[in-house]
Amino acid sequence: MKGFVPPDAETNVSQEHWAVIYMPGRNRQRYPANCVRLMGSEEEARAEGRPAQRLFPARVLGPSKSSEGQEVYYLVEWLAPQ
């Protein structure tokens, strides 16, 4: 995937997670940690998705540190809400 820092194979710092992302739109590839709510499963993320309230279910990779020192999550894929 272009544009993200690959996870370190020797640690579990950055992992894939199911999440709901709060954002005005879905045109970015990385999102600040304060906009990402991690979920326990794909079904839970889909159930919590509310596009009308700008809550989008997704699979993300992270957390990772940005060059500005913020924690960010990288988008792996958007999910369709239930």
**pLDDT tens digits for range 19-65:** 999 988 778 889 999 999 999 999 999 999 999 999 999 999 999 88
Task: Give this prediction's pTM.
Answer: 0.83
Domain boundaries, the chain: 15-78
How many residues in the chain? 82
The CA distances from residue 42 to 60, 65, 67, 78, in Å, are: 11, 25, 30, 11
H or E element that contains 45: helix 42-48
- The pLDDT value given to residue 11: 60
Residue 35 Cα to chain centre, angstroms: 9
- Using CB atoms within 10 A of its CB, is residue 4 exposed (0-12), middle (13-18) or buried (19+)? middle
